[in-house]
Chains A and B, each alone.
Chain A
């Protein structure tokens, strides 16, 4: 079973990350949303419309692509876009030049797509989606196969589009991408949603944030803070003092250390990386606790 009881609500105006390892069910989910495949049971709704019931009408205001965007290689990029505009009813013709400019393909618009690089095809895919003036953009691993510069450019383009108020559902297996671009995210593994919410919610739900202090005498520091009720203090492998507390609790620790004559060399926020949370959720099996959005 590719998907099992997926329940995903994407807030309007957000860049919503859909994070999961390869084979987790991200692309399958997007295919269902775009009406390319039918679920064995259940339904997907876009703006309240189910593609299985409403057909192509369910995709009004929705655009995007799954996997690598594909075009007719024997037609130019511009003609491919005109073709898509016609299939959408013809309203997009006057936007072809604009969207080519947005994705920085104006100079290559008249070249055959067969000669395009992977990055150019990805950008043309985005241009094709923008032709529809979407309110919701579904992007499936849009930086897949791009070189570092192409990835940077694509992410910056998505960020620019998001800044215009567009709702973006961004499927990715790249944690750095989701961390950079997304305001909320869902983590999917083995066809099930393991977490849905904001990044701070994810961190709070899985160990939360803490503080790391480098001090003159960790052992003395540990004993000095032993009686604090709103902070748990321990010594890490590197000899640093690890403080599990909120900001107020951490402040009280520093006061306590000063009174005990323990000097502080450095103090930093010690929050778990998205990567460690991701592995915790996707490889931690069913024990991972889901947090409602």
Chain B
């Protein structure tokens, strides 16, 4: 725990951590400004709406939908990028600062040091989501009021139908917590790949870019028309959007649990390889 606590202190002392957390708080603000400038309008003749429009329309009745809107648009790239600021840097920075030789000659094992870094990365990612969600709720409530959310009768996509006439304030906040918890799964999984790249390449920029490339590769495979659903449901891309199953009339817990399970399957291999690599590597700088 001591090494973990110091990893957290080191993160707090670094500017890039602050940048990541502030950016997470500002994402919902950017969407609030966008919706204030260009509010969503209902379509004529009851035509079906895209999921993003359903969410945007709901913003007219309640600001509490804002974090969901922000998550819808930032879940695949923006939030993974913010997670990568730490995940891709936390081991590589030790090489950049040449501090590995300092800490590896003390009485804490390499494995424990790496575990502390992994724990600190996970803590940062979860904090990122808490700030993102809290900021979304506060900004949304201030900008458009904290009222029950109306989401009605329109397909949201991926076989999910939003038929709930209204979702109460307490319920929507509870669902936000659940959504962020589920979304944390794939975000942590992709962060684990950034962590691996950080440990292996010893280069922060390369690790962050590599992590995003990994995320994009998943998306590209998922968008290929010839890939059957039996395959895409095992891709990380599907897990990044699985949180939407929490917005139906009934919450589809099976989809949420699968997202968590698949994310764990994606996260474990890079963590194991990171540990194997880190324990064996020579420290030459």
A25 within 8 A of B: no
Report B103-117 residues with CB < 8 Å from chain A CB. Answer: 103-109, 113
Q: Is residue A241 within 8 Å, beta carbon to beta carbon, of the partner chain? A: no
A35-74 CB mask vs B (1 if < 8 Å, else 0) is: 1111000000000000000011001100111111111111
Contact with A along B88-99 (1 / 0, CB 8 A): 000000000111
B103 touches A74 (CB 8 A): no
What size tier do the contact residues of chain B reach?
Answer: 20 to 34
Interface string of A56-94 (1 = CB under 8 A from B): 100110011111111111110001000110111110000
Q: Are B109 and A56 in contact (CB under 8 A)?
A: yes
Q: Which residues in A have their C-beta under 8 angstroms from that of B103?
A: 84, 87
Contact A87 B13, beta carbon cutoff 8 Å: no
Q: Please determine whether B97 and A59 come into contact, CB atoms closer than 8 angstroms.
A: no
Residues of chain A within 8 A (CB-CB) of B108 are 56, 87-88
Residues from chain A with Cβ under 8 Å of B36 in the complex? none
Which of these, A67, A71, A90, contacts B2 with CB under 8 Å? A90
Determine if A119 is an interface residue (Cβ-Cβ < 8 Å): no
A72 contacts which of B99, B101, B109, B113 (Cβ < 8 Å)?
A: B99
A73 and B97 form a contact (CB under 8 A): yes
Are A68 and B106 in contact (CB-based, < 8 A)?
no
Residue from A38, A66, A87, A90 within 8 A of B101 (CB atoms): A66
Q: Residues of B contacting A87 with CB < 8 Å? A: 2-3, 6, 103, 106-108, 113
B14 in contact with A74 (CB, 8 Å): yes
User: Are A36 and B109 in contact, with the CB atoms below 8 A?
Assistant: no
Query: B283 near A: Cβ within 8 Å?
Result: yes
In the complex, which residues of chain A have a beta carbon less than 8 angstroms from the beta carbon of B284? 31, 36-37
**Whole-angstrom distance between the alpha carbons of A69 and B3 in the complex?**
20
Q: How large is the interface on A (under 10, 10 to 19, 20 to 34, 35 or more residues)?
A: 20 to 34
State which of A56, A71, A86, A88 has its C-beta within 8 Å of the C-beta of B99: A71
- CB of B107 within 8 A of CB of A89, answer yes
Residues of B within 8 A of A66 (CB): 101
In angstroms, Cα B14 to Cα A69, docked, is: 20
Given A56-B109, A72-B10, A74-B13: A37 in contact with B282 (beta carbons within 8 A) = yes
B282 and chain A: residue at smallest CB distance: A37
Contacts of B43 in A (CB 8 A): none
Cα–Cα distance between A59 and B103 once the two chains are bound (Å): 12
Q: Once bound together, how far apart are the Cα atoms of A55 and B106, in whole Å?
A: 11
Q: Which B residue's beta carbon lies closest to that of A34?
A: B105
Q: Answer whether residue A218 sits at the interface, using C-beta atoms and an 8 A cutoff.
A: no
Kindly state whether residue B44 has any CB partner on chain A within 8 Å.
no
Residue of B nearest to A76 (CB): B13
Q: When A and B form their complex, which 7 residue pairs have the shortest distance between CB atoms, in order from nearest?
A: A70-B98, A87-B106, A37-B282, A36-B283, A87-B108, A86-B2, A88-B107
Task: List 23 A-B pairs, Cβ < 8 Å.
Answer: A31-B282, A31-B283, A34-B101, A34-B105, A36-B101, A36-B104, A36-B283, A36-B284, A37-B284, A56-B106, A63-B105, A65-B102, A65-B105, A70-B97, A70-B102, A74-B13, A74-B14, A74-B15, A75-B13, A86-B5, A87-B103, A87-B107, A128-B102
Known contacts A31-B282, A35-B105, A75-B13; 10 additional CB pairs below 8 A are A31-B101, A59-B105, A69-B102, A70-B97, A70-B102, A73-B97, A74-B14, A84-B102, A84-B103, A86-B6
